[in-house]
Structure 1
Amino acid sequence: MTQPGHRTLTEFKHIVVMGLGITGLSVVNFIARHHPDAMIRVMDSRQSPPGEAQLPETVARHTGSWHSAWLASADLVVINPGISLATPVLAPVHAAGTPIVGDIELFAWYCDKPAVAITGSNGKSTVTALVGEMAKADGINVGVGGNIGVAALDLLDKGHDLYVLELSSFQLETTKSLTLQGAAFLNFSEDHMDRYQSLADYRAAKCRIFTHATTLIGNADDAQTQIDADMCLFGFSQGDYCLCTDDEQAWLSAQGKPALPVSSLSLVGRHNVANSLAAMALADSVGVSQSAQITALRTYTGLAHRCQKVAEHQGVIWVNDSKATNVASTLAALDGLEVSGYLHLLVGGEGKGADFSVLQPALAKLPVRLYCFGKDQAQLAALDASAQCFDTLQQAIDAAATAATKGDMVLLSPACASLDQFTNFAARGQAFVAGVESVIARPL
């Protein structure tokens, strides 16, 4: 079933899927399922793209470059979010007026149940997963995915009564028909400047989430997330969902009424208080009971690689925050951090053109020892006199293990993408966990 007024795949005969991987493969399978008569062609600039081995034998494919002739003959192009609309080979497609969409636009055409979505520079995955947990606690058959876990199209046709989607700016660029009960823009900071011409362009892509939303949710403490004076807001000191004091404790409140003491949250960190407030607003937009929300808030401990406590060994706490792929994520991890001894901070990777100097004020407030690795280690080392440089993450782990003593914390919060040395942030986090385990296993 499709949304009223939305297009369907059966309008198109020659469909080109541009870019494979998890998303591209989900697109191919979805088209084959809903429009078996379509001629599907797949192209990827990589010589051996992930997902190629899983393609149906009947699907034509071209790898190692783009195929201009295929694009010229297409009446629909579905592109992977990692591919910019400004890619030169797409110029003739734009000129011809051929529709160029992403997987979320296809999802919008066929979604027939309520949906909420989350975007922002940081915290998207945590809020998405938390709203999903709230819905499950209320007995709702919920599908959670998008830019997290399961590809959005793979959620359809599974009997779900609610969808919760994490959406990146890249996904939103090619989405115009998505109808949402609740849409949240969590926060905004510099990122992906290798993709966008300006911060304004990046923000505009994020704001597309509000196009067909019933409840627009923004951050009261971040004006860049707000587009309308009548928006629903969450924030620490103001907003429809904010903190209040009750019985001399800080509480999460909804519409002016205390809901749960902050001390009862299982999530760690001040930034996760804001994430919890945003999740409550989204849950309310689709009628999830407050009792179910509270159950999830009390029990949900967070996602791997996001301020995840890995171990405590000989009085040293090891924390994996590999998901901190930009400066703002690392700032969030450092905000309000309490360490009785030294903070041994591991940073590094591919900075994507970011300005690392904004980390200096936060570092100046902490008893920090900096360990820099990877491609942009030299730029990061300029942040603090304590900095040491290493070629690899493992070398940084070993150095921190040697220096750390009881009361210290070793935190991997890289402030950079991982692609200079790892396939993704999860692989980097797994390498950190393995490194910590090796440290713990060493004989005294």
Structure 2
Amino acid sequence: MMTRNGVALKESFKGKRVTVVGMGASGMAAASLLVREGADVLVVDDRQKTVPSSLSHLSQGGEGLGTVHFRLGGRREEDLLSSECVVLSPGVPLKTLPLKELQARRIPIIGEIELASAFLSALSAPIIAITGTNGKSTTTTLVGEILKGWGWKVFVGGNLGTPLSEAVTGTWDFIVAELSSFQLETIQTFRPRIAALLNVTPDHLDRYPDFQSYQAAKWRLFENQSEGDYAVLNQDDPATMPPALKGSAVSFSRLAIPKRGVYLHWREGEIVSNLWGEAEPIVRVEFLKIKGSHNIENAMAAIAVTLLCGCSAEGIRQALMNFKGLPHRMELVREVRGVKYINDSKGTNVGAVIKSIEGLAVPVILIAGGKDKESDFTPMRELILKKVKRLILLGEAQEKIARCFSDHPAVERVGSMEQAVERAAASAAAGEIVLLSPGCASFDMFRDYRHRGEVFRQAVEGLPS
């Protein structure tokens, strides 16, 4: 296999010096895999101060195992330049590394996804990779549920939770991986049999210099595909269309009938496939438990992927009708005195907020804000001015958002999620919806989006009936 700078990465890591940068879930999984393969591993992390228990046992060594050492609280340039390979965690930007020096020494830089693929390529299980600005966790999970419903043994992971490296030791019929743009930055030869790009809207502009750079990272999903592979694309979103494809294109659309793919028949309210030629009804939208236009798109993408895997329309239909969605994604928490409280804490960008509000037909009290990702909030203006009765802002980005909506008749700032829920409850009337859809990251006030969603849930559960 080849790296971007042309250096061959040997499939055998036995005895090789490898530096793993970052001790998040993917970094720890990469270190574990490398030690099992006999590598001499150095794990470095600027923030961590202690060795996690999940890795401490590896430092004891054993027959056939490599070694692992840790340098925590800071890393030295020499830690990288003395290695034979650098494995970079997705949360660590490439620009923080001494790239010129590493390239001069022909030291490959890969990520945990590329590392895992070096071993997974020897397995017969097809890899299905799914990315997009929004909806990738829901779609990845849904694809996994449909395939499992057929009795197949399916690994579901990647950015979703379980690192891809953990698939290496199993026996699978299919491997389904959610991938982020950060993970795609460091692939070199990773080749999914089926690759799906759901949508691309501005996000992570605190990491990328512009939207085009973010989009290019998403497009990398397709770069190693070849004839016989499939690229599943959103026909309604031109930003998902890479300049060139080597695999066969399959599309999904809410607005038109694709040449080959899955589409929404609005008149019948039904999702239909023409993947194999003639139109084949799959499921009526009213029977889906997951609601909203964005979830119709997620369902269509999952249908396209699983039809390509050999599933029947009937099997797909049953799985779709049973799928309840994931926590923190347009999740109904409670209804109090006729007011519905919806947790969409995973809505961490402007595009997600727009999709969430578009799917609601009643007045909305919106709780938004958090850690800004250098986002432009103006695309939300028209929809929020039209459909949001009250805008409650919290977190670091509250002033920036408030300036964007200075002409909205009801904007207020709060200092905590509890206060936000209290103020929302005081202003909501029966038949309206209180929606947490922050449009921002969570790290200014919470551990992650899950923690933010749980704090919202607790505050809602504490409201008097």
Q: Which moved more, 1:419-428 or 1:223-232?
A: 223-232
* Post-superposition CA distance 1:262-287 (Å, at most 9, x none): 11111111110011101111112222
- The equivalent residue for 1:199 is 211
- 1:26 aligns with one of 1, 24, 29: 29
Secondary structure of the corresponding residue to residue 60 of structure 1: strand
Distance 1:198 1:51 in 2: 36
The C-alpha deviation readout for 1:5-35, integer Å capped at 9, x for no partner, is 98414266101110002111111111122x1
Deviation at 1:298, TM superposition (A): 0.4
Q: CA deviation at 1:417?
A: 0.2
Of 65-74 and 319-328, deviating more is 65-74
Provide TM-score, normalisation by structure 2: 0.89
Greater alpha carbon shift after TM alignment, 351-360 vs 86-95: 86-95
Residue type of the alignment partner of 1:220: Q
1:396 aligned to 2:420?
yes
What does residue 254 of structure 2 align with?
236
Check whether the contact 1:114–1:286 (CA below 8 A) recurs between aligned residues: no
Amino acid at match of 1:254: S
Is 1:174 paired with 2:186? yes
The corresponding residue for 1:314 is 337
Distance 1:423 1:91, change over 3 A: farther
Query: Alignment partner of 1:362: what SS?
Result: helix
CA gap of 1:313–1:50, structure 2 versus 1, over 3 A, is farther
Aligned counterpart for 1:365 among listed residues 378, 386, 397: 386
> 1:68 maps to what in 2?
77
One-letter amino acid matched to 1:44: D
Structure 2: distance between partners of 1:350 and 1:71: 31
The amino acid across from 1:233 in the alignment is S
Which residue pairs with 1:377 in the alignment?
Answer: 398
Q: Note if contact 1:186-1:219 (Cα within 8 Å) is conserved in structure 2.
A: yes
SS for the counterpart of 1:129 is helix
SS at match of 1:249: coil
TM-score with structure 1 setting the length: 0.93
C-alpha distance in 2 between matches for 1:234 and 1:12: 47
Aligned residue runs from structure 1 range 95-134, under 5 A = 95-111=104-120, 112=123, 113-134=125-146
What is the Cα deviation at residue 261 of structure 1?
0.8
Shift of 1:396: 0.6
Q: Could you tell me which residue of structure 2 aligns to residue 142 of structure 1?
A: 154
Separation in structure 2 between the aligned mates of residue 405 and residue 125 of structure 1, nearest angstrom = 33
Give aligned pairs, total. 431
Measure, in 2, the Cα distance between the counterparts of 1:49 and 1:386: 47
Q: 2-side partners of 1:16 and 1:190: how far apart?
A: 32
Structure 2 counterpart of 1:136, which letter?
K
Does the 8 Å contact 1:66/1:89 carry over to 2? no
Query: Matched residues in 1 for 2:53 and 2:128: separation?
Result: 31
Q: Distance in 2 between matches of 1:431 and 1:274?
A: 29
One-letter code of the match for 1:60? H
Name the SS of the counterpart of 1:379 in structure 2: helix
Within 2, Cα distance between the matches of 1:69 and 1:151? 28
Shift of 1:406: 1.3
Q: Which runs of 5+ in 1 are unaligned?
A: none
CA pair 217-414 structure 1, distance change in 2 beyond 3 A: same
The equivalent residue for 1:263 is 286
Deviation at 1:415, TM superposition (A): 0.2
Instruction: Please give the per-residue CA displacement for 1:317-336, whole angstroms capped at 9, x wherever unaligned.
Output: 01000001111111110113
Q: Secondary structure at the match of 2:443?
A: coil
Q: Deviations over 1:40-71 (max 9, x none)?
A: 10000114268477433342111111122221
Q: CA deviation at 1:385?
A: 2.8
| Deviation by residue 1:140-178 (Cα, 9 ceiling, x = unmatched) | 110100000211111221222111110011101111212
Per-residue deviation, 1:110: 1.1
Shift of 1:94: 2.6
What code does the residue aligned with 2:361 have? E
Q: Distance in 1 between matches of 2:156 and 2:424?
A: 37
Give 2:59's match in structure 1, choosing from 57, 60, 63. Answer: 57
Contact 2:230 2:249 in 1 (8 A): yes
Q: Which runs of 5+ in 2 are unaligned?
A: 1-7, 61-67
Say yes or no: does 1:338 pair with 2:341: no
Moved more, 407-416 or 329-338: 329-338
Q: 8 Å contact 2:145–2:319 — kept in the other structure?
A: yes
